[in-house]
Structure formats: structure tokens, C-alpha cells
Amino acid sequence: MRDPIGSAAIALIAATAWLPVVFLVRSYRKRINDVHRLGNDLARTRAELQACEADLKHAQTLACAGTTQDIVEREELEASLREQREFFRLISESIGEHIAVLDLEGQRLYNSPSYRQIFGDTRELRGSDSFADVHPDDRERVQQVFKETTRTGRGQEIEYRLVRQDGSVRHMASTGRVITDQQGRAARVVVVSHDITDRKQAEQWERIAATAFESQQGMFITDAHSVILRVNQAFSTITGYSAADCVGRTPKMLSSGRHDAAFYAAMRASIEGTGVWRGEIWNRRKNGEVFAEWLTISAVRDSEGKVTHYVSALTDVSEYKAAQEEIERLAFYDALTGLPNRRLLHDRLRVAIATSARSDRQGALLFIDLDNFKTLNDTLGHDMGDHLLRQVAKRLSGCVRERDTVARLGGDEFVIMLDDLDGRTDEAAGQCRIVGEKVLAVLNHPYDLAGHEYQNTPSIGVTLFGGQHGSAIDDLMKRADLAMYEAKAAGRNTLRFFDPRMQAVVTARAALEKDLREAIRKQDFVLYYQPQVDGVGRIIGAEALLRWQHEQRGIVSPAEFIPLAEETGLILPLGLWVLETACAQAALWAAQPGREHFTVSVNVSARQFRLPNFVEQVLAVLAAGANARNLELELTESMLLDNIEDTIVKMTALKERGVSFSLDDFGTGYSSLSYLKRLPLDQLKIDQSFVRDLLTDPNDEVIARTIITLAASLGLSVIAEGVETVEQRDVLAAQGCHAYQGYLFSPPLPAADFARFLQAP
Ligand SMILES: Nc1nc2c(ncn2[C@@H]2O[C@H](COP(=O)(O)O[C@H]3[C@@H](O)[C@H](n4cnc5c(=O)[nH]c(N)nc54)O[C@@H]3COP(=O)(O)O)[C@@H](O)[C@H]2O)c(=O)[nH]1
């Protein structure tokens, strides 16, 4: 379409009264555009063109007002101009964009007020250089675009940075529009700009987030239901799972199975409570390998606080852990033997001392030095010496419980730390002696040193800790060391205690054990029988009581040797001998007329009863000729409750064959009624400690009466032991007890004497 007005006129107007004219010209251009769009609608096109002409004439009028209009027209014109200016001001202040009009050098002719508001500018902007505010790095580019715009008349959008008066930087996006003069030459440039700093920052953050997401750390994002939405490359490298493998699945796919439900519950609770969980976790790679990772899970919430996503960052720490373990191994373990070194021993000793101080348990240090180790090194060389030390370490580790510590201090010096030993010094010393003798025995076995058979012995020094034995680590080490030198001085290949008194106890026990072994071998034992009588004085049975016929000491009480026999395991052959002897004797007495129901009670030790084949052992003994109904086994409360299910099974099996059971020393233990009811017992035996003071101590009297009542309520018979006086028997009888054992009737007697006692009228 033909331009009906002419650009030259517009340029002229613009050059002389540019402000309102800018608007009029804009209005004109817009309408011309509208006319273009109207196309074939000729009526409307004509109307629009007329309106355009009117606008332009008005502009011409404005432009020429100074020379051609009379005063009245001028006033009208000025009023109109004011109106236009106000209109323009309102528009330029209310739109979000900043408007500037620049001359062709980029000098400011006009700036919309928003420019000042937003940029805090206080300068006189009119006439100032607009390029001066552009960031130096962007200035040249902006000037280029400006020049291009003025040359071609075509504006283009450009983004650049502007430096505010306070030095801060804002990002701008600007578009220039050229205003031409009458000759069609560029005269002004209208620049419309808007602040894109927030958008730029958001873009920047997006780039940072994207870069961070693709960092060395494995990352994955799940939705609120823990469904994986995205994983990064590092995640795939660490786990072996690609994005395709895991998007749409849950992190459960990584679980190693090493953590229990409580672990994951605590994790969830932490995320719910604090929004985050951090910790070490074992996960499984795609290739099945389990690895340690450091994991941080953070909840992402929306503006209402609702969790929308979880972001998890993981680092593979398996190498770090391996390195840490290696460092620990080097710092706390002996490189040659793999045993804890002095540092770790001291650490553990510190803990053991503190624990024993809180309990009534004791601990011990056994200092072990190999005899003549230097000679081995000098003669066969250090390699052989190392070879021996490694084998010694292995053998020592086999001598102790898992909770004990075997350490190597260096050279041929080893230490065993035992803890949780008996609170009684003599007992603890006995436990140490057993371990010490085991060590002596295993280290005395010949060694195979690369084909050479080699014999070596150790010297062992022992000291206790906890209780009254002191607790300074250095002192304890010195004591054990001194005791070890005592062992060397005593001829090597032996064990010595630091405390002479303790040494005496241990020496005596060692001698007793040696004698006991010898006595078992020679069968230096005999059974005594103590009668058990009923309410009218009839002998209904006997308790078999063991006696040791010692060559020098005469008859030795079982109270002296049974505990040691239990400790050393010698009770097993001894207990079997008692059972066999007592059953043989029971068979003889039961064969006498009227004594078919005569019972012989046999004390059974805990160790014997816990033998897996105890039932078979008893049945085998009975098979030799005794009737099960003539055998009564005496068990104690503590051994029954040790493993109640096993106890019931064994007792039931024997009871079904006719063997009866008596609960010995009743009242001294902690039997609960519910357990008692489950045990197939026949009899409760009131302990002699309650019978002894029955007449003088009301408590004992109440206890005895309670036991009798309890036995009745459980349908069990009851027998009192240690009855020494008629008065005791009468009180017991009055309470309902009608079976007795004690010196009142007879002390324990050798079998021949007992036979005579039986025959007595
Ligand atoms: N595992 C085994 N333990 C056994 C065996 N033989 C005995 N023992 C246990 O040894 C402990 C000591 O026994 P002993 O020195 O024989 O003492 C018993 C009786 O002699 C004694 N007694 C009996 N009547 C009286 C009395 O009137 N006064 C008094 N002061 N003492 C008396 O009491 C002991 C009874 O023992 P028990 O009935 O078993 O409690 C002892 O614990 C025996 O059990 C064995 O072969 N195996």
C-alpha cells in the first residue's frame, strides 16, 4: 500500500516537537499496520487512513504552531501538549520497561522516571552518555549494536550489564527504535529496556545446580514416594546402574541387606523430624558387590511445607574405609603376627580395668616370654625367628576366649589379657592357672620351622587386676613382667604369679590337681552312704557321698576337691565312677527282702548333667544290673535353670525309665515356681543351712515350713538334711516333713558299716 502521509513529514515533526510527536507517530504507525492487516475491508481501510491523516495533521500543526498559529491556537496547542506529556508520563511510569530517547551519539535526551527509581540514579541524566553506564566489558558490543541500529534503522534486542551508581551490576535487555528526520535520516533512537537481572540469576543458579548435580558425588532425586526421577553420571559410575536402570524404581534396589528395619526406621524418622539424614550405609552395586557409602538425604518441601522430592548425595567410601582399616591395622596391630600391639593392648586394658571397677569381676595379665629365643635367632636366622613368632601367635590365640586379648609387645614378648574372671581372688587365680597351663602345654609342642623340627618353651608371669589388685597400667605391666622373671628364675617353662600369697594358693591347687588325677587313675575313692529315714525311723534310702582316701592325708572331704574336679573336668570320670558304684550297691541292697523300693541318691555335677549323652550314660550304668526305681539323682537349682528345656528333656527321658529326682539344697537358689512346676521332680530337699538354726532363727523356721507347704502343693515329697537333734526333727515333723537325713540318725558310713546299720534292729 502507498504511504499516504510521507515519512519525511514525520521526521520533520519528530525533529521539532519530538515528545508528543513520538506518540502521534507511534499511533500513526500502529494504525498503518492495522490498515495493512485489514486487507480487503475497503470501508474500514478508508476510515483508518482518514484517522491517520488527522493524526498527522495534528502533528504538523503542533510542529508548526510556533510560526503559524495565533495566540489562541497556541494556547490550545500548549494545553494539548501538556495533556500529551502527562499521558506519556503516566504510560512511561506505569509500564515495567524503561524508556530512553538517545541522540545518535548515545547521549540521553529523555529517560522514563522508572530508570531513576530502579537504578537509584541521582545524576542529571539529560545530556549524559548512556554508554558510560554500560559495564566496560559489554560497552563496545553495545555501541556496535547501537551504531548498526542507527545505520540500518533496524533495532535488535541486546542483553548487557549496566553498572549502577552504587557499583552493583544489573542485567538489562534493550531494543532500539530509530526515529528519522524529514529526509529519512536517523535522528533519534528510542530505547526500551527491562531489567532481566532476576532471570539471569535464575538462569545462573540453574546452570550452577546442573553443574553441581553432575559433580563427582553420586546424586539421585526421588519424588515424595521415593520413586527415582533422575540420577547423575557419578551415581551410575558408583553403583553401576544407568538412569534407564533405575528411573521409576525406588532406592530399595540398592539395599545390601546388611541393615535391619530399625536402621531404616531411624533414617525415616530423622528425615521427617529434621528434613535430613546423614550417615554411612552399606549398599549393593549392580554387579552384586556390597560397598560402604556416605549418604545425605535431604527433603525438598513446597511453600506449604509439603515434601515434594528427596535429593540424595552419595560418596563411595569403600576405599577410604579400606585405607582407614589399613591405617588402624598399622597403628594398632603387630605387622609380623597380626596380633594387637602394645598400644591396642593398653587401650583394651584401660577398658577392662574400668569394667572390672564397676563389677565384682577381675582380670589378669599373662606375660609370656619365649625361652632361648635369642639363640634361635642367632643360630637359625631371623627368618626362622619370625616363623616361630607367627606360629606362637597362632597357638596363643587358640588358648583363649574370643573376648580375651593376645598381644605382641615386640621381640619374643607376648601378653594375654583375660577379663571377666571370678571376683574371688583364689578362683580368679585358678582360672588364670588353667589358661597359663594350657599356654605352657601348647607352646611346648614341637614347631615346624621350614622343615626343621624345633622345640621351645615359654616362661609366664601372671598378675590380677580389678578388686584389690590395683589398676595403673604401667604397674600391672611391671608386675606381670616381674612375675615372668620369677618364672625364668624358677627354671623356665613355668608359670609364676606376682603375688606370693596367690602363688601359694595356685601352687597348692596345682598339687591337688596332680594328686587328684593320680587318685582317679589309681581309683583311690570310696563311697560313704548316709541313711535317709521316714517319720517312724525306717531306713528308706541312702545318699551316696564321695570320699578320697589320700595316702598321706587320710579321708578327704569332697568339699575340698569337688570344685577343683568341676573346674578341671575331672568330675566327669569321677562322676561316672560314683554312678556305677552307687548303682551296683543299690542293686545289692534292693535285692534284700523288703527293700525293693530302697533308693540310693547320687549327686550329679552340672558338668556331668550337661553332657549331651548324660541320659545314655545313666541308662548304660543301670543296664549293668540296677533297677532304675532304686536310683535317685540329686540335682541343684542352679544347674536345672541353666538350660531349662534341655533339663526337662533329660529328666523326662530318665523319669520315664523309673529314675527319680530330688532337688538338692532347696531354698538356697532362685527357683521360680513356674519353672519348678515344669520339672518332673519327685522330691525337695530342705538344705541343712535352714535346719541348723531351725529352733533359734524364726526366718529359717518360716523357710522350712514354706518349702514343706510348697512341696505338698506341687505333689512332691520332702526330706530335710542335716538333722542333728530330736528337737529339729520334731519341729519338722510338726510342719509336715516326714523324711530326714542327718547325724541324728547316722553320719555317712562306708558301705560295710551301712549294711550293718541296715541290719540293726
Ligand atoms: N557331684 C558330687 N558331689 C558330691 C558327691 N559326694 C559329695 N558331694 C558333695 O560334696 C559336698 C560335701 O559333701 P559331704 O562332705 O559328704 O557332706 C554331706 C554330708 O556329709 C553332710 N551332712 C550330712 N548330715 C549332716 C549333719 O547332720 N550335719 C552336718 N553338718 N553335715 C551333714 O552334708 C552334706 C550333704 O550333702 P548334700 O546332701 O549333697 O547337700 C556336698 O555338697 C555334696 O553334695 C558326689 O559323689 N558327687
Q: Is 605 in the pocket of ligand 1 (CB under 6 A)?
A: yes
Tell which one of 603, 635, 745, 749 to mutate to probe ligand 1, the residue whose CB is within 8 A of the most ligand atoms.
603
How many angstroms does the Cα of residue 562 sit away from the middle of ligand 1? Answer: 11
Q: Is 748 in the pocket of ligand 1 (CB under 6 A)?
A: yes
For residue 99 the three cell numbers come to: 524508556
Question: Within 10 A of 152 (CB to CB), how many other CB atoms are there?
Answer: 11
If asked whether residues 508 and 654 sit together in one domain, one would say no
Dihedral angle sign, alpha carbons of residues 602, 605, 606, 612: negative
Structural domain count of the chain: 4
pLDDT of residue 328: 81
The ipTM estimated for the assembled molecules is 0.93
If asked whether residues 629 and 675 sit together in one domain, one would say yes
> Which 3-state string (H, E, C) describes 690-704?
HHHCCCCCHHHHHHH
If asked whether residues 509 and 532 sit together in one domain, one would say no
658: left (phi over 0), alpha (psi -120 to 50) or beta: left
- Domain end, chosen from 289, 322, 355, is at 322
> Which 3-state string (H, E, C) describes 233-285?
HHHHHHHCCCHHHHCCCCHHHHECCCCCHHHHHHHHHHHHHHCEEEEEEEEEC
Give the Cα-Cα-Cα angle 115, 116, 122 (nearest 5 degrees). 145
Give 10-residue mean pLDDT values along the chain (761 residues). Answer: 38 41 50 50 53 56 48 75 75 76 93 78 86 95 94 91 91 92 89 92 87 86 95 95 96 94 95 95 96 95 91 92 84 94 94 88 95 86 94 96 95 96 90 94 94 92 81 86 88 88 77 91 96 95 96 90 89 96 97 94 94 96 96 89 88 97 80 77 93 91 92 94 96 95 97 92 72
CA gap 463, 429 in Å, rounded: 9
pLDDT of residue 564: 87
If asked whether residues 494 and 531 sit together in one domain, one would say no
CA gap 372, 149 in Å, rounded: 102
Tell which one of 523, 526, 545, 726 to mutate to probe ligand 1, the residue whose CB is within 8 A of the most ligand atoms.
545
If asked whether residues 509 and 550 sit together in one domain, one would say no
In this structure, which residue's CA is closest to atom 36 in ligand 1?
Answer: 545
CA gap 152, 160 in Å, rounded: 21
CA gap 522, 508 in Å, rounded: 21
Question: 3-class DSSP state for residue 188?
Answer: strand
Q: Is 347 in the pocket of ligand 1 (CB under 6 A)?
A: no
- Side chain identity at residue 53, one-letter code: E
Question: 3-class DSSP state for residue 606?
Answer: helix
- Side chain identity at residue 277, one-letter code: W
Residue 438: inside a domain: yes
If asked whether residues 421 and 466 sit together in one domain, one would say yes
DSSP state of 104: T
CA gap 234, 237 in Å, rounded: 5
Residue 675: inside a domain: yes
Residue 170: inside a domain: no
* Helix, strand, coil share of the chain (percent; to 5): 50, 25, 25
- Side chain identity at residue 310, one-letter code: Y
Report H helices in 341-399. 342-358, 373-380, 382-397
**Residues in a beta bridge with 461:** 367, 496
Residue 391: inside a domain: yes
DSSP state of 592: S
| CATH number for the domain harbouring residue 689 | 3.20.20.450
- Domain end, chosen from 516, 532, 547, is at 516
Helix (H) or strand (E) holding 711: helix 698-714
Helix (H) or strand (E) holding 334: none
Which residue in 639, 706, 634 sits closest to 663, CA to CA?
634
Q: Are 399 and 433 in contact (CB under 8 A)?
A: no
Which residue in 754, 700, 758, 694 sits closest to 724, CA to CA?
694
CA gap 653, 642 in Å, rounded: 18
Q: Are 211 and 204 in contact (CB under 8 A)?
A: no
In this structure, which residue's CA is closest to atom 18 in ligand 1?
Answer: 545
Residue 406: inside a domain: yes
Contacts of 478 (CB under 8 A, 6+ apart): none
Q: Is 566 in the pocket of ligand 1 (CB under 6 A)?
A: no
Burial of 240 (0-12, 13-18, 19+ CB in 10 A): middle
Dihedral angle sign, alpha carbons of residues 627, 632, 635, 640: positive
Crossing angle of helices 42-68 and 18-38, rounded to 10°: 170
Residue 107: inside a domain: no
**Residues in a beta bridge with 661:** 633
Q: Is 725 in the pocket of ligand 1 (CB under 6 A)?
A: no
Q: Is 546 in the pocket of ligand 1 (CB under 6 A)?
A: yes
Q: Are 363 and 352 in contact (CB under 8 A)?
A: yes
If asked whether residues 367 and 231 sit together in one domain, one would say no
| CATH number for the domain harbouring residue 301 | 3.30.450.20
Cell 565384682 found at: 360
How many angstroms does the Cα of residue 556 sit away from the middle of ligand 1? Answer: 12
How many angstroms does the Cα of residue 728 sit away from the middle of ligand 1? Answer: 19
| CATH number for the domain harbouring residue 372 | 3.30.70.270
If asked whether residues 218 and 338 sit together in one domain, one would say no
**Residues in a beta bridge with 362:** 421
How many angstroms does the Cα of residue 587 sit away from the middle of ligand 1? Answer: 22
DSSP state of 305: S
Residue 133: inside a domain: no
Tally of CA atoms within 13 A in the half-sphere of 183 that contains its CB: 3
**Residues in a beta bridge with 313:** 219, 296
Ligand 1 atom closest to residue 566's alpha carbon, by position in its atom list: 1
In this structure, which residue's CA is closest to atom 46 in ligand 1?
Answer: 546
- The 8 Å CB, 24+ separation contacts for 665-670 are 665/636, 665/637, 666/637, 666/707, 667/703, 667/707, 668/637, 669/636, 669/637, 669/638, 669/641, 670/637, 670/641
CA gap 62, 78 in Å, rounded: 9
CA distances from 212 to 206, 218, 314, 377 (A): 10, 10, 13, 61
Residue 166: inside a domain: no
pLDDT of residue 145: 95
Q: Is 416 in the pocket of ligand 1 (CB under 6 A)?
A: no
If asked whether residues 512 and 528 sit together in one domain, one would say no
How many angstroms does the Cα of residue 615 sit away from the middle of ligand 1? Answer: 24
Report H helices in 543-669. 558-568, 571-590, 606-609, 614-623, 637-642, 644-656
Contacts of 241 (CB under 8 A, 6+ apart): 231, 235, 253, 254, 285, 286
- Domain end, chosen from 293, 322, 351, is at 322
Contacts of 314 (CB under 8 A, 6+ apart): 217, 218, 219, 220, 235, 238, 283, 293, 294, 295, 296
pLDDT of residue 165: 86
Go through the chain and tell me how many residues it has: 761
In this structure, which residue's CA is closest to atom 31 in ligand 1?
Answer: 722
pLDDT of residue 41: 52
CA gap 163, 660 in Å, rounded: 106
Ligand 1 atom closest to residue 724's alpha carbon, by position in its atom list: 27
If asked whether residues 437 and 366 sit together in one domain, one would say yes
Contacts of 197 (CB under 8 A, 6+ apart): 170, 171
Q: Is 545 in the pocket of ligand 1 (CB under 6 A)?
A: yes
Q: Are strands 660-666 and 631-636 parallel, antiparallel or unpaired?
A: parallel
Q: Is 742 in the pocket of ligand 1 (CB under 6 A)?
A: yes
Q: Is 530 in the pocket of ligand 1 (CB under 6 A)?
A: yes
CA gap 661, 680 in Å, rounded: 8
If asked whether residues 229 and 289 sit together in one domain, one would say yes
If asked whether residues 593 and 638 sit together in one domain, one would say yes
CA gap 600, 605 in Å, rounded: 16
How many angstroms does the Cα of residue 530 sit away from the middle of ligand 1? Answer: 9
Q: Where in the sequence is the domain holding 250, given as residue range(s)? A: 214-322
Contacts of 737 (CB under 8 A, 6+ apart): 686, 704, 708, 718, 719, 720
How many angstroms does the Cα of residue 545 sit away from the middle of ligand 1? Answer: 6
Q: What is the pTM of this model?
A: 0.50
